[in-house]
Amino acid sequence: MNMNRKQFGQLALAAGLALGFAGTAAAQAGYPGKPINMVVPAAAGGTTDLAARMTAQALGPVLGQTIVVENKGGGNGNIAAAQVKRAEADGYNLLMQYSGFHVISPHLGKSSWELADFVPVANVLSAPQIVVVRGDLPANTMQELVAYAKANPMKLNYASSGNGSLQHVTGVQLEQAAGIQMVHVPYKGTGPALQDLLGGQVDLTFGTAPPFMAHIQAGKLKVLAVTGKERLPSLPKVPTTAETGFAGVNATSWFALFAPAKTPKDIVRKLETDVRNMLSDASFQKKALDQGATADFMDSKALGDMVKRDYAMWAKVVKEANIKAD
């Protein structure tokens, strides 16, 4: 069969594309063929770190490969996000993201990335914030805490993991709902904030339950309320903020996996499926509940939809409260 130059070019292009697709499919079929790097936008000791390590330990065997956790705290999550944004989009670079960093930090004016830089993979854990005070603070209920704050304006110091963090915003919500004024003390992560709370340098903080549970059980810290819609199974006697009369204080964190935007869809789907299988395991669910969190699977689409809703909601909160980055 005789072919003109145009027909030959078209055939060559089709053959090249077919070989390219076959090569990509073959490469993805062997995924993962080496250790996966999971970057965490926080120091060790907080719930984001716990979510990453729980996931690495449980998901690794499902994938048949080691998952290495790398802590890159600071910059309201920007350092870690920027690293993963720039990384190879091959499925070997993942971000265990904290909702406060993903949907609040971009509104603070110093973000080095956009939502479009990442593809959602799956949600792993969800957890409401809790209101935690130092053990010797003369307040055992939310009402007593508010009364103390009103009697001692600007004397209560509350810690957060940074300006614009969910802890910071929760503190602002409490100030607005209760008509009180407190001093905000930002830290570079929940771990350092927790240490100063235990040491008495700050009076209270807000955060997800996991890093505080052992200290609460030991009596070193007191938990006054849960900021979610329901009580925590791990803290059944602790009321919600709505039950204590402060329904305006409502903040729940989520912890989810993201990948660089151009990560192949087949790899994203495999990770999504394997995370679903991991979260269906009863031992993983119990471990999450014991820590004050919930194994809460959302696939890529559902996670992406939630990100868009939360992003819009927190944009309004940040603007109204005039919250700025460090």
* Whole-Å CA distances, 13 to 4, 6, 9, 17, 19: 14, 11, 6, 6, 10
What pLDDT, on the 0 to 100 scale, is given for residue 290?
85
CA atoms 180, 182, 186, 192: torsion sign: negative
Task: Decide if 84 contacts 59 (C-beta within 8 A).
Answer: no
Q: What is the mean pLDDT of each run of 10 residues along the chain (326 residues)?
A: 52 47 50 97 86 96 96 89 97 96 86 94 94 97 97 95 85 93 89 93 93 94 93 92 91 94 97 97 93 92 96 86 73
What pLDDT, on the 0 to 100 scale, is given for residue 22?
39
What pLDDT, on the 0 to 100 scale, is given for residue 148?
97
Supply the CATH classification number for the domain 34-127+253-321: 3.40.190.150
Q: What are φ and ψ of residue 320, in 5° steps?
A: -65, -35
The DSSP line for 279-290 is: HT-HHHHHHHHH
Amino acid at position 149, single letter? A
What pLDDT, on the 0 to 100 scale, is given for residue 27?
44
Strand (E) positions, 79-229? 93-98, 118-134, 157-160, 183-186, 204-208, 221-226
CATH class for the region spanning 128-226: alpha beta
What pLDDT, on the 0 to 100 scale, is given for residue 320?
81
Instruction: Report the DSSP pairing between strands 252-260 and 93-98.
Output: antiparallel
What pLDDT, on the 0 to 100 scale, is given for residue 299?
97
Q: Which residue from 91, 111, 95 is spatially nearest to 103, judged by alpha carbons?
A: 111
What are the sequence ranges of the domains in the chain? 34-127+253-321, 128-226
* Whole-Å CA distances, 221 to 49, 84, 137, 218: 21, 36, 9, 8
What pLDDT, on the 0 to 100 scale, is given for residue 324?
74
What pLDDT, on the 0 to 100 scale, is given for residue 292?
82
Q: Which residue from 132, 111, 98 is spatially nearest to 215, judged by alpha carbons?
A: 132
For the chain, the C-alpha Rg in angstroms (whole number) is 23
Answer whether 34-127+253-321 and 128-226 agree in fold. Answer: yes
